[in-house]
Amino acid sequence: MRKLIQFFTIFAAARALAADAIIFKQQYLPGNTYHQTITMEQDMDMDLGASRVTRKTNTAMGFSAVVAPQEQGVKTKRVTVQYDRTVMGMSDGRNKFSYDSQSPGAANAGPLAAIGRIIGHEFNVVFDEAENVTEVENIEPTLQILAGTDPASSQIYKQIFNREAIKRMMQESPLRSPRGIVMKPGDSWPFSNVLALPGIGKLVIRGNYTFKQMVEHNGVRCVEVTAKADINVDTRAEGLVDEKSMALMQQMDLKVQEGKMEGTFFYDPAIQFPREITMTQSVTLTAKIPNGPDQGVRLPMKQTVGMTLDSFGPTKKKEAGQTPEPGE
């Protein structure tokens, strides 16, 4: 009898383990519409020796991502993105601005008011068969609208909204099992992400994901996955740094200290997409100012990025003047 009980105990444990074993394959599924909200909070504290500059920025951007049905024989995937709400705040110790596209007449919007111009404009993001972003199409009109005629606001939006930023947003280290290996609670696997920093080089992120456990997250059975990584800057990235800039980087002795990234994913295996992501990046840059003060520059930055999947479902047929919505 005891052996029979042991057998059923082992059998039940094996079944539970098998149920929790999955292959991660994060992707946008053809024929569906996703609505996501991306949030970002960024703190920057620049110590210039003789002076100090602080800046706090927070943004929230809601957008729909409509995935075209997969055509036979076509390996690429096209996703049409359209923003429907933007909220942004910024302060630098002297000035404080805030903007909400749902209340565009706020008196303290200042240069942030231009961000509202993005509402309703579409562009396309193209993925290859390996789910890597290969192109961002039709983005130039949107960038021109954002730039406007104000040099101050134009500079702000070039930093936070550009082709590389969009690629990053749509493909920020997606959850994928290496070589399609089945993962189970306790398993870890490596990931890396390289981001272009024109004129400086590359931001290199390398770390590991860990499958923590299966959990109920807002009523949906999800996989809780944690991420930990180190962040470094490669100032010798070929094609991104010209000789003049490289010489300046060497003079400045630009270095990354304490570059770390940590985060948590709640991944829904039923739809092969995260329901929620929170990611915190902490980086301290140090540099010397050529012919400047001996103490140089110290620039600590902390950024928390979040993603919430607000809705998901088959794309409804689009009527004139309407944005496609999820079917459920």
pLDDT band per the 50, 70, 90 thresholds, residue 9: very low
Cβ-count burial 18-50 (b if 16+ within 10 Å, e if not): eebebebebbbeeebbbbbebbbbbebeebeee
Q: Residue 235: left if φ>0, alpha if ψ -120 to 50, beta else—which one?
A: alpha
If you average pLDDT over residues 199-221, what whole number do you get? 89
Helix (H) or strand (E) holding 306, with range, is: strand 297-314
277-322: per-residue pLDDT in tens?
999 998 887 777 666 556 677 778 888 999 999 999 999 876 545 5
| pLDDT at 16 (0 to 100) | 39
Distances (CA, A) of 97 to 57, 61, 66, 103, 129: 10, 17, 32, 14, 42
106-127: per-residue pLDDT in tens?
778 887 877 788 888 899 999 9
If you average pLDDT over residues 60-73, what whole number do you get? 91
Cα–Cα distance between 226 and 248 in angstroms, integer?
Answer: 38
Range of lowest pLDDT (39-43, 64-68, 199-203, 207-211): 199-203
Helix (H) or strand (E) holding 40, with range, is: strand 32-47
Helix (H, G, I), strand (E, B) or coil at 19: helix
| pLDDT at 13 (0 to 100) | 37
Residue 197 has pLDDT above 80, yes or no: no
Q: Residue 142: left if φ>0, alpha if ψ -120 to 50, beta else—which one?
A: alpha
Asked whether the beta carbons of 280 and 304 are under 8 A apart, the reply is yes
pLDDT band per the 50, 70, 90 thresholds, residue 14: very low
Strands 255-268 and 220-234: antiparallel
- Locate the domains of the chain by residue range: 31-171, 177-309
One-character DSSP codes across 72-113:
TT---EEEEEEEEEEEEEEE-SS-EEEEETTSTT-TT-GGGG
| pLDDT at 268 (0 to 100) | 97
| pLDDT at 248 (0 to 100) | 63
Residue 254 has pLDDT above 70, yes or no: no
pLDDT band per the 50, 70, 90 thresholds, residue 239: low
| pLDDT at 180 (0 to 100) | 81
